[in-house]
């Protein structure tokens, strides 16, 4: 049975109300729900508008300004440039798939750690951090290989789109831009130069 979606209401005073616990919660509490992979939805208490993305963006903003940012200014600028771009939807899917792949790599690393360290409650986050540091070079090599393959796939996708675009536009009954005379502008006057002189 699928987990029931937890409903959180946001009131005009910016307070968040968790209907599951019948209590007000903070943005930090919402972050905890995310970390614990609890499915939830934030809505406007008055209009019913879905505010989940807005709240998640607020959490990301707080994390980015807390002193250990994940995104560089250059990366954020590149993301902003894709808004309104024809490739916006594709880029969103591209980033989402890459994050899913990264999570899968993380899951496999954790499985390796469990196999080496054992299911010992005393081995907490510190032990896991040490394990990740030891595996650092291997992880970097794995990620570099994956990113290179991903970049090649993206280039191939762009080339395929270009081929499809050329094929689509070639079906239209007009000449390619920049080739051939422009009607009414580049056409030579009727008759020869001699004929034109005789008429003057």
Please tell me the predicted confidence (pLDDT) of residue 162.
77
Please tell me the predicted confidence (pLDDT) of residue 170.
73
- Residue at token pair 């502008």: 185
Give the helix ranges, DSSP H, for the chain.
Answer: 27-35, 52-64, 73-81, 88-117, 125-134, 136-169, 193-199
The β-bridge partners of 50 are 43
Please tell me the predicted confidence (pLDDT) of residue 44.
96
- Phi/psi at 159 (5° precision): -65, -40
Please tell me the predicted confidence (pLDDT) of residue 16.
96
The β-bridge partners of 25 are 16
Confidence (pTM):
0.58
Please tell me the predicted confidence (pLDDT) of residue 59.
94
Please tell me the predicted confidence (pLDDT) of residue 46.
94
Q: What is the token pair recorded at 44?
A: 């406007």
Element holding 16 (H helix, E strand): strand 16-18
Q: How far apart are CA 148 and CA 186, in angstroms?
A: 48
Please tell me the predicted confidence (pLDDT) of residue 32.
95
Q: How far is CA 38 from the centre of its chain?
A: 22
Each residue's pLDDT, cut to its tens digit, for the chain (200 residues) gives: 456 899 999 998 889 999 999 999 999 999 999 999 999 999 999 999 999 999 999 999 999 998 788 888 988 898 888 888 877 888 888 788 878 877 887 777 777 766 766 655 555 556 656 666 665 566 666 666 666 676 667 677 777 777 877 777 776 665 555 455 545 545 555 555 555 555 54
Please tell me the predicted confidence (pLDDT) of residue 1.
45
């Amino acid at each position: 049975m699928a987990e029931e979606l937890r409903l959180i209401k946001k009131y005009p005073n910016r307070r968040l109300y968790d209907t599951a616990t019948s209590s007000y919660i903070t943005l930090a509490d919402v972050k905890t729900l995310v970390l614990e992979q609890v499915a939830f939805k934030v809505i406007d208490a008055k209009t019913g508008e879905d505010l989940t993305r807005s709240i998640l963006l607020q959490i990301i903003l707080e994390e980015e300004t807390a002193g250990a940012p994940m995104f560089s200014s250059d990366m954020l600028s590149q993301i902003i440039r894709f808004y309104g771009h024809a490739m916006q939807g594709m880029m969103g899917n591209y980033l989402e798939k890459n994050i899913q792949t990264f999570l899968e790599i993380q899951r496999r690393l954790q499985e390796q750690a469990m196999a080496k360290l054992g299911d010992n409650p005393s081995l907490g986050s510190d032990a896991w951090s040490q394990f990740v540091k030891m595996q650092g070079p291997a992880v970097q090599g794995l990620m570099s290989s994956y990113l290179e393959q991903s970049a090649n796939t993206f280039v191939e996708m762009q080339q395929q789109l270009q081929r499809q675009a050329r094929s689509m536009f070639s079906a239209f009954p007009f000449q390619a831009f920049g080739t051939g005379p422009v009607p009414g502008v580049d056409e030579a006057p009727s008759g020869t130069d001699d004929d034109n002189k005789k008429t003057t």
